[in-house]
Amino acid sequence: MALLYEKRDRIAYITINRPRALNAIDPETLKELSEALIDFREDNNAWVAIITGSDRRAFCVGADIKEMLPVLSDIRNEWWRVPPTILRGLELWKPIIAAVNGLALGGGLELVLACDIRIAAENASFGVPEVTLGIMPGWGGTQRLVRAVPAAIAAEMLFFGQRIDAQEAYRIGLVNKVVPQADLMATAEEWARRLCEIPPLAVRAVKEAMIKGAEMNLEDGLRLEAKLMDYLVASEDHKEARSAFLEKRKPNIRGK
Ligand code: CAA
């Protein structure tokens, strides 16, 4: 299997599993990634996903240069033929954590950028080397990197394609936390479990408001926020969380 997918206790685990190619994404991996993400989105019992890579060396080194780039060339101008993922084409408002266990290059960094929370192992490194292949990031890198870090830093990384290490990624705000490799999954799981204690409809609404709102003018953004707030104030979890606060007890969150 190019991708491992399992669900435990409200957490979906997506592991890119092509260690011999440093977890490069070939067409099969992309298809399986799309299927896993759609399953995660549709499953009411899955509240948070963690995406990682299957070996210590690489999270993902991007599109498979041998197997994937020729396909992207064959189907150019027909992007709808690419399976929908969080890179492009799939709306998914549940929170996703990247556990970056090693190299995150090209499409690998673009996948990290499409996640909401990013935990890096100390040996992780990040880069968008596509220009050195005479192409450019095609899975969101030029759009999401410049929204994630200051413009001059994004330009430096995108123009030169050089790698930065985990500490530098933390310094520029690309990742939330850097931990020893041995603690990576435990840390990602701890963040995931903490997220599972928060009413999930509220987390999803915040993600939707943040991401859609970033593309709107303030007035439209405030309207979107008000609409999502109207939806949340009528939710069962809000009523339960409010009662629990007043009764000084732990709420029984159900995702409704
Ligand atoms: N696609 C396919 N295979 C890859 C790969 C990739 N992106 N990156 C590495 N591999 C393979 C290598 O071919 C090699 O396989 P073999 O053992 O069968 O020869 C194996 O992984 C190990 O790689 P190296 O021997 O090169 O290991 P290294 O330690 O010397 O270098 C590296 C590691 C720096 C990651 C180097 O392999 C490299 O630069 N890889 C290319 C990374 C890259 O350019 N990614 C961008 C892809 S394009 C993209 O992602 C476009 C997009 O936005 C959609």
Query: Which pairing describes strands 11-16 and 117-121: parallel, antiparallel, or unpaired?
Result: unpaired
Q: Give the CA count within 13 Å in the CB-facing half-sphere of 176.
A: 16
Catalytic-residue membership of 110: yes
Q: How high is the pLDDT of residue 10?
A: 97
Residue 252 has pLDDT above 90, yes or no: yes
Residue 42 lies in a domain: yes
Predicted pLDDT of residue 77: 77
Domain around 168: 3-196
Checking if the pLDDT of 82 tops 90, the result is: no
The bridge status of strand 164-165 relative to strand 125-127 is antiparallel
Closest ligand 1 atom, residue 103 Cα: 35
177 lies in the same domain as 224: no
CATH number, residue 209: 1.10.12
Fill in the DSSP letter of residue 182.
G
Which entry of 130, 156, 197, 225 is annotated as an active-site residue? 130
If you average pLDDT over every residue of the chain, what do you get? 96
Residue 251 Cα to ligand 1 midpoint, Å, equals 48
Q: Which two tokens stand for residue 89?
A: 């084409």
Predicted pLDDT at 80: 73
Residue range 198-218, pLDDT digits in tens: 999 999 999 999 999 999 999
Catalytic residue, chosen from 6, 67, 78, 110, is 110
Say whether 130 is catalytic. yes
Which tokens hold the place of 164? Answer: 């930065």
In a domain, 166, yes or no: yes
Residues sharing a CB contact under 8 Å with residue 143, sequence separation 6 or more, in sequence order:
none
Residues 119 and 82 reside in one and the same domain = yes
Residue 55 lies in a domain: yes
**Ligand 1 centroid, distance to 252 Cα (angstroms):** 47
What residue's CA is closest to ligand 1, atom 38?
Answer: 61
Q: Indicate if 145 and 189 belong to the same structural domain.
A: yes
At 75 the pLDDT is 85
Which atom of ligand 1 approaches the CA of 163 most closely?
34
**Per-residue confidence at 73, pLDDT binned at 50, 70, 90?**
confident
Q: Which residue, among 132, 87, 130, 134, has the nearest Cα to 110 in the 3D structure?
A: 87
DSSP 226: H
What domain count does the chain have? 2
Residues whose beta carbon lies within 6 Å of some atom of ligand 1: 21-22, 24, 61-66, 103, 105-107, 110, 129-130, 133, 137-139, 141
Domain-terminating residue out of 156, 178, 196:
196
Reported as a single tens digit per residue, the pLDDT across 158-188 is: 999 999 999 999 999 999 999 999 999 999 9
Quick: pLDDT tens for 97-155. 999 999 999 999 999 999 999 999 999 999 999 999 999 999 999 999 999 999 999 99
- Same domain, yes or no: 59 and 75: yes
Tell me if 32 sits within 8 A of 157, measured CB to CB: no
In a domain? residue 28? yes
Task: Indicate whether 253 belongs to any domain.
Answer: no
Atom 15 of ligand 1, nearest CA residue: 21
Could you tell me the two tokens for 212? Answer: 């859609």
Order of strands, sheet of 103-105, starting from the edge strand that comes earlier in the sequence: 58-60, 103-105, 125-127, 164-165
Please give the number of the atom of ligand 1 that sits closest to the Cα of 64. 1
In the numeric block, which tokens belong to residue 85? 């993922």
Q: What span, in angstroms and rounded, lies between the C-alpha atoms of 225 and 6?
A: 33
CATH number at residue 130: 3.90.226.10
Q: pTM of the prediction?
A: 0.96
Same structural domain, 152 and 178: yes
How much is the pLDDT for 55?
86
d(CA 55, ligand 1 centre) in Å: 14
Cα torsion through 216, 40, 108, 112, rounded to 10: 50
